[in-house]
Amino acid sequence: MTTQGFSSGSWVPTTEEHSRASALVEAYAEVQGQMARLQAESALILAELAGIAKAQSARSGSTSDHKFAFRSMAAEVASVVRVPDATVRVRMCDAVTLVSEFPATFAALGEGRVSDAHARVITAAGARLDEGARTEYEGIVLARAENTTAAALRPIAKALAERIDPLPLTARHERAMDARGVWLTPLEDGMGELRIVAPAVLVFGAHDRLTQMARVIKRAADGQERTMDHIRADVATDLILTGAPTSGDGLDAIRAAVQVSIPADTLLGLGDDSALLAGYGPIDPDAARRLATRAPTWVRLFTDPDTGCLRTVDTHTPTASQRRFLVARDEHCRFPGCRQPARRSDLDHTVAHAERGRTTVTNLAHLCETHHMLKHHSPWRMHQGEDGVIEWISPLGRTYTHAATPVVRFQALAQVIAPVVALEDVMPAGAVLDLVVAEPAPF
Ligand SMILES: [Zn+2]
């Protein structure tokens, strides 16, 4: 295990501050737990109210009466708590789903083990599973939910539901394609909102391209008052209205980059296991195969068939390989809960090079600018194990273990699947092809 030291500055807490801060952190966690318990209570109340509405309508025997009994009950609640009744109807439906279809998640919320946000991620991703599959799904996803953020849980839950009940993603994708479109919403004070729903690969690519352009503009103009969000919005409207960005030099040289991991047998057309879009989750295998034919570079990754840990890459070009390996392993900044993509983070030596830290994948990890600074300018300390698992130790002495997203996802999947089918010499068992797509966005 490697480690990194920090020479403490004068702002490090005094003994008194340390114990006060520790107590407050505990108190905050306790209040959050209580809020989760109250959310579970609210859900139970709403589900029971929905049950009464259902019983009322059952006595009439008419389906339209059911709709009105439900609406009437929602309006009743809405008037008392002063929220729109449409909002209460959605909450009632969600409550019924949670209480009656996801009992383990409902129990975990009631015990404060997961938050309301986690519960919503779990029910949304597992909604299409049948009862038996849901039980298996909840068992695995809840264990993950207890040590990760709701945002990080979303791609894991989606991949897990997909693996437990592999409803052909191609068919689902075709159906979902019907929902693509662009919507305009007028906002107050002379503003408007444009919302685009399109295939995830294109939308992620578009957002990545806007971000890269915004970074160049921000770097070029020192003292720039526009935030990254402002510049992204300006560049997006420029591109749509003029077909080309109108500010900054060299912007048209920037290409969108998305990263897709494709199981070897899917790529070879031998299977239809989903490909994974980094930071999103499963995507249509056909789309992934089409991307593969246009990718300028491929990297072969080898995973441990038992644990799913990424082990190594082809060794012909070590430095570039290490980088690509680490982007695939980390996906995001390695500070717990941070969603900054690896591509926009720094590769940090866990033990500094100056302190004889080696340039190996078990001593390198992605940290975003914020967390890179935090590591070097505060008493937060990190250790990295041989398997790339990072242990963070807080100034108050708490330990947080952080496994890279793909590892967590593959480990969750490993609980429900047989080992990957062995392929011949070129594709050892457990091999996953990582594909880095770098090309002009097609718009
Ligand atoms: Zn970060």
294 lies in the same domain as 234: no
272 within some domain = yes
Radius of gyration (Cα) for the chain, nearest Å? 25
Q: How far is the CA of 275 from the centre of ligand 1 (A)?
A: 26
Q: Which tokens belong to 140? A: 């695995």
Are 285 and 408 in the same domain?
A: yes
- Compute the distance from residue 216 Cα to the ligand 1 centre, in Å: 20
What was the pLDDT predicted at 56?
Answer: 85
Q: With 90 as the cut, is the pLDDT of residue 92 above it?
A: yes
Residue 72 included in any domain: yes
At residue 182, φ and ψ (nearest 5 deg) are: -130, 130
Q: Has residue 235 been placed in a domain?
A: yes
| Statement to judge: residues 209 and 303 lie in one domain | no
| pLDDT tens digit sequence for 16-38 | 999 999 999 999 999 999 999 99
Same domain flag for 279 and 233: no
The answer to whether residue 5 is domain-embedded is no
**DSSP conformation letters of 140-189:** HHHHHHTTS-HHHHHHHHHHHHHHHS---HHHHHHHHHTT-EEEEEE-ST
The pLDDT confidence band at residue 330, using thresholds 50, 70 and 90, is: confident
Give me the sign of the Cα torsion angle 225, 229, 232, 236.
negative
Provide the Cα torsion 146, 148, 149, 155; round to 10°. Answer: -110
Q: How far apart are CA 314 and CA 436, in angstroms?
A: 15
C-alpha 343 – ligand 1 centre gap (Å): 12
Ligand 1: centre distance to CA 359 (Å): 21
Q: From ligand 1's centre to the CA of 235, what distance in Å?
A: 25
Contacts of 84 (CB under 8 A, 6+ apart): 78
- Ligand 1 midpoint to CA 164 (Å): 31
Whether 311 shows a pLDDT value over 90: the answer reads no
Distance 35 CA to ligand 1 centre (A): 27
Q: How far is the CA of 345 from the centre of ligand 1 (A)?
A: 8
CA distance 375 to 372: 5
Burial label, 396 (beta-carbon count in 10 A; 0-12, 13-18, 19+)? middle
111 or 248, which is more confident? 111
Res 410: pLDDT? 57
Evaluate whether residue 194 is within a structural domain: no
Residue 180 placed within a domain:
no
Highest mean pLDDT among 113-117, 241-245, 269-273: 113-117
Residues 101 and 241 in one domain: no
256: CA distance to ligand 1 center in Å?
Answer: 21
pLDDT at position 110 is 97
pLDDT exceeds cutoff 60 at 50: yes
Indicate whether 185 belongs to any domain.
Answer: no
DSSP 3-state helix, strand, coil percentages of the chain (rounded to 5)?
Answer: 50, 15, 30
User: Cα of 331 to ligand 1 centre, how many Å?
Assistant: 11
Give the SS3 label for residue 22.
Answer: helix
Q: How far is the CA of 150 from the centre of ligand 1 (A)?
A: 16
Q: What's the CA-to-centroid distance between 369 and ligand 1, angstroms?
A: 7
pLDDT tens per residue across span 168-182? 767 777 778 888 999
Specify the pTM: 0.60
The answer to whether residues 121 and 146 belong to one domain is yes
10 Å Cβ neighbour count for 11? 10
Same-domain pairing of 161 and 263: no
Q: Which of 30-34, 155-159, 165-169, 200-204 has the highest mean pLDDT?
A: 30-34
pLDDT score, position 192: 84
Which has the higher per-residue pLDDT, 252 or 156?
Answer: 156
- The amino acid occupying position 249 is D
- The rounded Å distance from CA 403 to ligand 1 centre is 14
Reported confidence tier of residue 298, pLDDT bands at 50, 70, 90: low
Domain boundary among 254, 278, 295: 254
User: For residue 21, how far is its CA from the centre of ligand 1 (angstroms)?
Assistant: 23
Instruction: Answer positive or negative: Cα dihedral of 374, 375, 380, 384.
Output: positive
How remote is the CA of residue 361 from the centroid of ligand 1, in Å? Answer: 18
Distance between CA atoms of residues 113 and 333, nearest Å: 25
Mean pLDDT for the stretch of residues 37-52: 96
pLDDT of residue 177: 85
Query: Residue 148 Cα, ligand 1 centroid: separation in angstroms?
Result: 14
Based on the domain organization, do 79 and 133 belong to the same domain?
Answer: yes
Alpha carbon of 379 to ligand 1 centroid (Å): 16
The pLDDT of residue 52 is above 80:
yes
Residue ending a domain, choose from 239, 254, 269: 254
| Spacing, Cα 390 to ligand 1 middle (Å) | 13
**Residue-level pLDDT at 259:** 64
Based on the fold, state whether residues 357 and 430 are members of the same structural domain. yes
Same domain, 203 and 158: no
Predicted confidence at residue 319, as pLDDT, reads 60
How high is the pLDDT of residue 135? Answer: 92
What pLDDT digit, counting tens, does each position of 390-434 carry? 999 888 888 888 887 665 565 555 555 433 322 233 333 343 444
Counting Cα atoms < 13 Å in the Cβ hemisphere of 73 gives 23
Rounded to an integer, the average pLDDT of 123-133 is: 90
Quick check: 268 pLDDT over 50?
yes
How far, in Å, is the centroid of ligand 1 from the Cα of 337?
8
Distance 190 CA to ligand 1 centre (A): 35
How many angstroms is it from 373 CA to the middle of ligand 1? Answer: 10
pLDDT in tens, 225-244: 888 999 999 889 888 877 66
pLDDT at residue 411 in the model: 56
Residues 269 and 407 reside in one and the same domain:
yes
Q: Are residues 64 and 85 in the same domain?
A: yes
Quote the domain boundaries for residue 402: 257-439
Residue 188 phi, psi dihedral angles, 5° rounding: -70, 165
How many whole angstroms from 130 Cα to the centroid of ligand 1? 37
Q: Is the pLDDT of residue 441 over 70?
A: no
Instruction: Give me the pLDDT at residue 301, please.
Output: 52
Say if residue 247's pLDDT is above 60.
Answer: no
Say how many Å lie between the CA of residue 200 and the centre of ligand 1: 23
Task: Look at residue 291 in the predicted model and tell me its pLDDT.
Answer: 67
Last residue within a domain, chosen from 234, 254, 274: 254
Q: What is the mean pLDDT of the chain?
A: 78
Residue pair 433/291 in contact (Cβ under 8 Å)? The answer is: no
Total number of domains constituting the chain: 3
